[in-house]
């Protein structure tokens, strides 16, 4: 006679076994989402010394909308910087990752280690030399120059991600394209790039989030208030007279900053996870 444990359905065992996973995942979700929900709630709640001093409403958002050059101008600056950073990062890391993964040349591994070593250099220590360099090239106080600087800080991680993504693709795929008459560059753009799409999306998402939320680099490199990205504008807006802080406008700005990041992450999370798994699937 079969025991109760032997007749228990596999589906039920799986369901019970996954309960701790869902409990932990749900707890982490609540933990990480709570600050954002609290910021959104605080941005519409009444608070003395803010633009929403009585009742619930969008007074803080109106203050943010009308501040200095206007919210839409700052959003456009942030969007331009973020898009340019993504384009620069993807272009260079795609070529660099492909070269490190597929070509053999003297000093290849040493050069790759030196590239990764940039991650160990404190971010802020490089901004003053870069400020001088941008002044010499005519890109100081420029959104393009700011994008180049932000892309430079993303390249070590991006190159690493693209290298492991290319190494996870069988060489036979590339060799078949070369045998069909494709040159190296055409094989890269027509065959290999689509094959590493999850890695490209992961790199692009990281670059966008870093550029969209960065505050220190614009603070050092941008002196024209009309060219400031949104994080820098929010930091300026929050300071009131006599050292007081406009918490309502600050929370409204945090909420506006977070919404595009949430939308992008939710829309691309499937590709994002596949991009991180590409190196684990190698071989």
Per-residue pLDDT at 130 exceeds 80: yes
Q: In which band, very low, low, confident or very high, does the pLDDT at 178 lie, cut at 50, 70 and 90?
A: confident
Q: Which of 213, 196, 249 is nearest to 78 (CA)?
A: 213
Tokens of 53: 């001093």
Residue 33 CA: distances (Å) to CA of 26, 28, 211, 244:
10, 8, 21, 28
Mean pLDDT of 198-213: 91
Residue 160 CA: distances (Å) to CA of 99, 100, 196, 265:
11, 9, 13, 21
Predicted model pTM: 0.83
Cβ burial of 160 (10 Å; 0-12, 13-18, 19+) is buried
Domain at 60-277, CATH class: mainly alpha
pLDDT one-digit tens code per residue, 223-239: 888 888 999 888 887 76
Quick check: 200 and 282 in contact, CB under 8 A?
no
Residue 199 CA: distances (Å) to CA of 45, 54, 204:
41, 48, 8
Tokens of 174: 């590339």
Per-residue pLDDT at 283 exceeds 80: no
The lowest-confidence range among 48-52, 143-147, 169-173, 192-196 is 48-52
Mean pLDDT of 116-137: 86
Identify the pLDDT of residue 32: 84
Mean pLDDT of 257-274: 81
Beta bridge partners, 239, equal 245
Cβ burial of 207 (10 Å; 0-12, 13-18, 19+) is buried
Quick check: 77 and 230 in contact, CB under 8 A?
yes
Give percent of the chain above pLDDT 90: 21
Q: What φ, ψ does residue 245 adopt, rounded to 5°?
A: -115, 130
Tokens of 85: 């950073």
pLDDT one-digit tens code per residue, 140-163: 889 999 999 999 999 999 999 899
Quick check: 230 and 256 in contact, CB under 8 A?
yes
Tokens of 230: 């949104």
Q: What φ, ψ does residue 141 adopt, rounded to 5°?
A: 55, 40
pLDDT one-digit tens code per residue, 74-124: 999 999 999 999 999 999 999 999 999 888 888 888 999 888 888 888 888
Angle at 212 between CA 71 and CA 151, to 5 degrees: 135
Identify the pLDDT of residue 266: 84
Helix H or strand E encompassing 18: helix 10-44
- Residue ranges in 103-196 assigned as alpha helix (H): 108-117, 127-137, 143-167, 171-179, 184-187, 193-195
Quick check: 111 and 264 in contact, CB under 8 A?
no
Which residues contact residue 195 at a Cβ distance below 8 angstroms, ignoring those fewer than 6 apart? 169, 173
pLDDT one-digit tens code per residue, 13-27: 455 567 888 888 888
Residue spans per domain, the chain: 60-277
């Amino acid at each position: 006679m079969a025991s109760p444990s032997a007749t228990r359905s596999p589906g039920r065992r799986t369901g019970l076994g996954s309960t701790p996973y869902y409990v932990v995942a749900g707890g982490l979700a609540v933990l990480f989402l709570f600050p954002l929900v609290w910021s959104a709630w605080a941005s519409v709640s009444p608070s003395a010394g803010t633009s929403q001093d009585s009742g619930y409403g969008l007074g803080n958002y109106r203050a943010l909308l009308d501040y200095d050059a206007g919210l839409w101008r700052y959003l456009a600056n942030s969007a331009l910087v973020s898009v340019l950073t993504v384009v620069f990062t993807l272009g260079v890391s795609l070529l660099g990752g492909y070269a490190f993964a597929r070509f053999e040349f003297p000093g290849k591994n040493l050069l790759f280690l030196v590239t990764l070593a940039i991650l160990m250099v404190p971010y802020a220590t490089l901004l003053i030399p870069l400020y001088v360099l941008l002044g010499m090239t005519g890109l100081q106080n420029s959104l393009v120059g700011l994008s180049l600087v932000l892309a430079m800080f993303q390249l070590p991680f991006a190159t690493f991600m693209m290298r492991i993504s290319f190494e996870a693709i069988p060489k036979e795929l590339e060799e078949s394209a070369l045998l069909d008459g494709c040159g190296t560059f055409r094989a890269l753009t027509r065959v290999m790039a689509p094959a590493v799409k999850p890695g490209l999306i992961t790199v692009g998402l990281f670059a966008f989030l870093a550029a969209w939320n960065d505050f220190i680099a614009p603070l050092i490199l941008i002196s024209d208030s009309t060219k400031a990205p949104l994080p820098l504008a929010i930091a300026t807006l929050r300071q009131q007279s006599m050292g007081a802080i406009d918490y309502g406008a600050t929370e409204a700005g945090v909420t506006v900053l977070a919404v595009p990041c949430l939308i992008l992450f939710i829309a691309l999370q499937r590709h994002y996870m596949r991009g991180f798994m590409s190196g684990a699937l190698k071989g």
